[in-house]
């Protein structure tokens, strides 16, 4: 995935038509859109292919299964038009490695520490190990929390400068785009504060300014 704009737009709570319309309107300032269960369960997987005509699509299916089934899910997402797929790291190295292999030329991003408070219950304690495993398993990058920029920095230290870090949690969840990028993220993932805004273009411009673009 080419990172130029440092913004991935999460399209969750919209109809398919509205998602395509929002993506078209903001495409010039995005590196990708991210779709997950809310949109795909509403519209069907065809929405991935529709959106992929506009901008690269990351399927956030947070894949967490045995290796063979994780590989099937990733393959079907790529066949549907995904340029990237998000998988969970807690399932371990074999599931992540098979997912990365099944993705072929598409990107696989591994969830390490999530952005919500509950991530402190279990995930944070093993996030560094999951980042190292992602690095050694052929993943393109990791998902790390914009709500805790110091954790982005710690995880960047583990994976090194070349892998991507995508960071959700900007805006509605309280994280700042600028701080997250300065902490070491490659791009931020922004959902509700963009697609629900009265004027998404001005929110996008403010995010760009905050990130020094
Ligand atoms: O809070 P927002 O509306 O900006 O959406 C954030 C998106 O990122 C949303 O699609 C959610 O599923 C995803 N995400 C996280 O918020 C936190 C994670 O750790 C991983 C993914």
The DSSP result for 129-149, as a single string, is: HHHHHHHHTT-SEEE--TT-H
User: How far, in Å, from the CA of 11 to the mean position of ligand 1?
Assistant: 10
- pLDDT value of position 197: 97
Ligand 1 atom at minimal distance to the Cα of residue 119? 19
**Which listed residue (50, 62, 76, 208) is catalytic?**
62
Indicate the pLDDT class of residue 2, thresholds 50, 70 and 90.
Answer: very high
Q: How far apart are CA 47 and CA 25, in angstroms?
A: 17
Main-chain dihedrals φ then ψ at residue 142, nearest 5 degrees: -130, 165
When pLDDT is averaged across residues 141-158 and rounded to a whole number, the result is 98
- pLDDT value of position 14: 97
User: How far, in Å, from the CA of 61 to the mean position of ligand 1?
Assistant: 12
Active site residue 62: yes
Ligand 1 atom at minimal distance to the Cα of residue 192? 3
Q: For 13-57, what is each residue's pLDDT tens digit?
A: 999 999 999 999 999 999 999 999 999 999 999 999 999 999 999
Mean pLDDT over all residues of the chain? 98
Burial 140-158 (b: 16+ CB within 10 A, else e): bbbbbbbbbbebbbbbbeb
Q: How far apart are CA 197 and CA 181, in angstroms?
A: 22
- pLDDT value of position 73: 98
- pLDDT value of position 201: 97
Q: How far apart are CA 143 and CA 120, in angstroms?
A: 15
User: How far, in Å, from the CA of 165 to the mean position of ligand 1?
Assistant: 14
Q: Where are the alpha helices (DSSP H) in the chain?
A: 16-26, 37-43, 46-52, 67-79, 93-103, 123-136, 149-159, 177-182, 192-195, 200-210
Percentage of residues of the chain with pLDDT beyond 70 = 100
Q: For 83-142, what is each residue's pLDDT tens digit?
A: 999 999 999 999 999 999 999 999 999 999 999 999 999 999 999 999 999 999 999 999
In angstroms, what CA-CA distances link 172 with 49, 61, 69, 192? 28, 21, 33, 7
What are the pocket residues of ligand 1 if the criterion is a CB atom closer than 6 Å to any ligand atom?
10, 12, 36, 60, 111, 114-115, 143, 145, 168-169, 171-173, 189-193
Q: Residues near 168 by Cβ (< 8 Å), separated by ≥ 6?
A: 10, 115, 143, 145, 146, 188, 189, 190, 191
Q: Which of 206, 152, 197, 200 lies closest to 179 in space, CA to CA?
A: 152
Indicate the pLDDT class of residue 63, thresholds 50, 70 and 90.
Answer: very high
């Amino acid at each position: 995935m080419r990172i130029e704009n440092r913004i991935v737009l999460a399209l969750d709570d919209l109809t398919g038509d509205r998602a395509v319309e929002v993506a078209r309107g903001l495409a010039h300032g995005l590196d990708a859109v991210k779709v997950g269960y809310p949109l795909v369960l509403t519209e069907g997987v065809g929405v991935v292919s529709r959106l992929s005509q506009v901008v690269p699509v990351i399927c956030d299916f947070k894949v967490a299964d045995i290796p063979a089934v994780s590989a099937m899910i990733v393959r079907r997402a790529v066949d549907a038009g995904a340029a990237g797929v998000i998988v969970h790291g807690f399932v371990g190295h074999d599931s992540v490695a098979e997912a990365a292999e099944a993705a072929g030329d598409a990107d696989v991003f591994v969830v390490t520490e999530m952005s919500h408070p509950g991530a402190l219950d279990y995930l944070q304690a093993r996030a560094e190990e999951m980042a190292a495993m992602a690095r050694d398993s052929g993943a393109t990058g990791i998902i790390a929390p914009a709500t805790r920029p110091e954790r982005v920095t710690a995880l960047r230290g583990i994976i090194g400068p070349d892998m991507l870090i995508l960071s959700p949690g900007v805006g509605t969840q309280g994280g700042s785009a600028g701080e997250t990028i300065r902490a070491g993220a490659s791009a931020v993932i922004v959902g509700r504060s963009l697609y629900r805004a009265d004027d998404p273009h001005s929110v996008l411009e403010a995010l760009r300014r905050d990130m020094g673009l």
